[in-house]
Structure formats: structure tokens, C-alpha cells
Amino acid sequence: MTNPQQVQILTITARHHDQRLDNFLLSQLKGVPKSRIYKLLRSGQIRVNKGRKKPNYRVQLDDQVRIPPIRMEERKPGEAPAFLLDKLKDCLLFEDEHLLVLNKPAGLAVHSGSNIQFGVIELLRQLRANGDLELVHRLDRDTSGCLVIAKSRLALNELHKLFRADEGLQKIYRAILVGRWQGGEKIIDAPLLKNTLQGGERMVMVDGAGKSAKSLFNPLDYYPAATLAEITLFTGRTHQIRVHAAHQGHPVAGDKKYGDEAFNKQLKQQGFKRMYLHAYRLSFTLNQQAYDIIAPLDNDWKALQQHLAHD
């Protein structure tokens, strides 16, 4: 993350290779509105390799991006920064009179909490000025993908029944797993037990005393040091995919809690700093209407796949 108060020279890493310049700048200049970034590009104050570039320029590995000092916006107490609101505006996948579905970015919590002032639901209520919006389910902060928001109390109750039943609802994820998955498609049927360690950190482990948990892992693509997999959930336990993947010896790439520390460190050094778990598809029927929603993978995810393929 850059400091907008001073000149920055940023070197493009594999994580951002071939990303549009405007999208790269938005990811780096936290708190700076889109309009300000485009103005800086038009005026030539932001330069790439000492030259002017248009917003649609695709940054290349080792490009040098110069960012001038930028005065931060002022906002009222309790009001979310513009960059967070802009980020959420771009995430809408589907909306009707009952619900809306977002493609939640990795790193954005679904609600406020300890050390988190604004989550998805607070941002949405600020954008829509609608206190009736309610989270139907949750995704971990570092997990991206389909997130369902109810637009009324009636819709919330119906959707809660659906999500808690583990039936009539299909949840499909994508994950980049450490190492080459062996044995093809595999059902992992391993009970999970919540445990709290010293310091209050919540952990989940495979344990016979835990609740039933069942996941279908299907490898889609293989890389020298990793595997792209699709995972179908038959149950919805806390951290289910992350723990089942680690239990098989193939933790999710970038997972700080259950992952491979050495692999994650290497990713971070190459500019890939998130967890690569994505809620890819949700299918269900509500009030006799069928919903089938897909959340596309973002540019950062695609950049890592290209990097792994040529590693």
C-alpha cells in the first residue's frame, strides 16, 4: 500500500503484470477517489517509466510507476472512505426485489468488528441509505466471491432457512492449492471441531467429536507447484474448505491460519499477498424462482495462475 502523502516509485511485480494502470492505481491508492486518479493521469503527474500513459495501459513486469504526493480527502466522522464505496459499487453481480449478490473482494470483511470500522453491510447501507439490508451468510475476510444480501426481513428469513438446511443450495468454490493434487476427484468426509487456542484465536480441526463435514474436491488444472481446484460443499462448516484442504496436505495458497508458511512467504515476495479461495457459484430456488450466479475470478487471481504456470 502506498503513502499518498509522499512521492512513491513502485515497481510492478508478477502480481500486477498486465493489469490496467487505472486498476493498479486504485489498488494502491487507498482512500483516493477514482476521479482524482484519472485527473492525475490526464495531467501527467502519474508516470510510467518517466512517461505519460493512458488509464487502459497494461503495466508490465518491472515497470516503474511514479506517484506524486496526494492530499487525502476529508470526510465526516462515521462516513466510509470513497475508495471503499467505489470498490463495492463495482462488485454487484445480481439484484432483484428480494436480494442482491456481490462479488466480494478479498480483504474486505462482511461486517464491522474488532479493528474493522466498515464491512460490506455497513458500506451497502451507506450507499443505499437502507437499513433493511441484511447479510444472509458470511465469507471469511480473505475469501472472495458470491455474497448474498437480503433486501427485506421476509427474504432474510426464507434465505436463512435455505442456507441452514444444506439442501436445495449448491455452493461451489475455486481454490489454488499448494502442491500437485493426487488421485483426481475426491470426496473429503471428515468431521470438524471448533477449538479456541490461547489468545482467543479460533481454530477448526478434523476431529471425530466434531460436526459432520463433507466436501468434493475436483482438480481443474495443474501447475508445477500448485493445483487449481473446484470444491463443492455438501455442508457449511466454519473454515471447511481450508481445513479439509490442509488435512489432505494441500492447503489453500495464502492461508495464514492453516496454510504452508514457506509457500505463502514465497508468494508474498512475488507480490501475491491474499488467500486464494473464491466462492465461485451459488445456485438455489427462492419463491419458485431459480437463481444461478457466478462470480468471475479477478485479475489478481488470473495473474497468479499465469505466474504458477510459468514458474
Q: Which residues pair with 283 in a beta bridge?
A: 170, 292
Going by C-alpha positions, the residue among 243, 136, 121 that lies closest to residue 192 is 243
What is the signed CA dihedral for 163, 121, 99, 140, rounded to 10 degrees? -30
118 Cβ neighbours under 8 A, 6+ residues apart: 80, 84, 112
In residues, how long is the chain? 311
Residues identified as active-site:
140
Evaluate the CA torsion angle 273, 7, 115, 77 in order and state its sign: negative
| Helix axes 34-42 and 21-28, enclosed angle (nearest 10) | 130
Q: Which residue type is seen at 237? A: R
If 0-12 CB within 10 Å is exposed, 13-18 middle and 19+ buried, where does residue 236 land? middle
Q: CB neighbours of 225 closer than 8 A, spacing ≥ 6?
A: 178, 179, 180, 263, 308, 311
Do residues 126 and 84 touch, judged by C-beta distance below 8 A? no
Phi, psi of 291 (to 5 degrees): -120, 135
